[in-house]
Every structure is written in C-alpha cells, then in structure tokens.
A and B are shown apart, each in its own frame.
Chain A
C-alpha cells in the first residue's frame, strides 16, 4: 500500500488489451493525495473475470509542468488522476512536490 504524501511513478508496462491508465501519464512522477478505496480491477472485469481480488485505488497529484513538456500554464497547476495500485511504484523522496 502507498500512503498520502508518498512519491510514486506510474509504471509503463508492455500490457495490451483494456487498461484504465492513459498513456500520457505513464512514466510520470506524482504524489499520493489520498487512498480512494478498493475496487474490482476493471482490467479484469473487461474480460468477464469478476471474481476479484479487489485492488487499491489512489488519487495521485501531478504537476502539469511534469506531465506536459511544453505546458504554458501556471507553475501551480496540478493534475489529479485516480490510478490503480498495480500501475504505481515508489519514487525517490517522499515530500509533497512543490
């Protein structure tokens, strides 16, 4: 499990088929904002496998400047995205991104 304030990187596996993590966020580093809950994995339900197990989901906050190389908005702009645990790995440091 991850805890709020922890820095995480979104994994970029060579996974085919239905996934819920958009490509634009893969490889990006953010900070866990909150634990959302546990849910049946939509990537399993998509193939009719509804028996579980349930997986953790987190709301992760990213700096827009980290997500888009040519971002023209304010330095303070943030992107919030809900990501399943198997798409996250710990990243260096655990301070909230400034």
Chain B
C-alpha cells in the first residue's frame, strides 16, 4: 500500500527549480530537532518524525511545507511522549508574542538614512 508521502515515480508535471533559501526559523527548527535527539536527551528521532507526519492525513501533509511538517511532527511527538503539553506550548507562545510586542513598542524608531 502506497502512503501519500511515497510519491517517487508518480506523475508530478514539470518540476520547478528554484534557488534554495532558508528562513531563520527553519534552521532553528532543525537545531532543536537535533538537540532533542542527541546523546543526552534521546527524546525524539527523525524516524519518529516521519512516522508522525505520515499519519497526519494527506490534506494536512500537503498543506504544510517541509519544515512546517517537521515542526508539527515534533510537537505531536513531544505531546505524545508527555514531554510538553499543548497548554504549556500555547502559554509559552503567548508569553513570547507579548514580549516581542513590548520590545517593538519600546525600541526607538529607525532614523531615515541621509
């Protein structure tokens, strides 16, 4: 049985070749993923991430980018293993969002270059 992620050899039309660029958060996501799997933690493995996003369902899988998939899978596993709960995560996101808003408000406006 072929899973929705198993697309080798399937018709895909013309392949668009774009220069590869990374957003900062994408690099951070990989750093966090690596740290969670290191010898001191051994919390999540890349094979588990694959298993997780292969179980998301085709619709969600296709709607997410490569790194979005990996982050979603990481969150899914951290919750599955009882390491981080969804509530803790939401609380932390709210905290950081507020902090960033405060920071932007207090920063002096950039002066226009002459």
Residues in chain A within 8 A of chain B (CB atoms) = 14, 16-18, 22-24, 42-43, 45-48, 50, 68
Contact A22 B8 (CB under 8 A): yes
List, in ascending order, chain B residues with CB within 8 A of A24's CB.
8-9
Contact size range, B: 10 to 19
Chain A at the B interface: SS class: loop
Contact B6 A22 (CB under 8 A): yes
List, in ascending order, chain A residues with CB within 8 A of B9's CB.
22-24, 68
Give the total number of A-B pairs whose CB atoms are below 8 A apart.
Answer: 35
Knowing A22-B8, A23-B6 touch, does A17 contact B51 (C-beta < 8 A)?
yes
List, in ascending order, chain B residues with CB within 8 A of A68's CB.
9
Knowing A18-B50, A18-B54 touch, does A50 contact B8 (C-beta < 8 A)?
no
When each residue 42-70 of chain B gets 1 if its CB lies under 8 Å from chain A and 0 otherwise, what string results?
10010110110010000000000000000
Residues in chain B within 8 A of chain A (CB atoms) = 1-2, 6, 8-9, 42, 45, 47-48, 50-51, 54, 81
- Could you list 18 examples of A-B contacts with CB < 8 Å? A18-B51, A18-B54, A23-B2, A23-B6, A23-B8, A23-B9, A24-B8, A24-B9, A42-B50, A43-B47, A45-B45, A45-B47, A46-B51, A47-B48, A47-B51, A48-B48, A50-B42, A68-B9
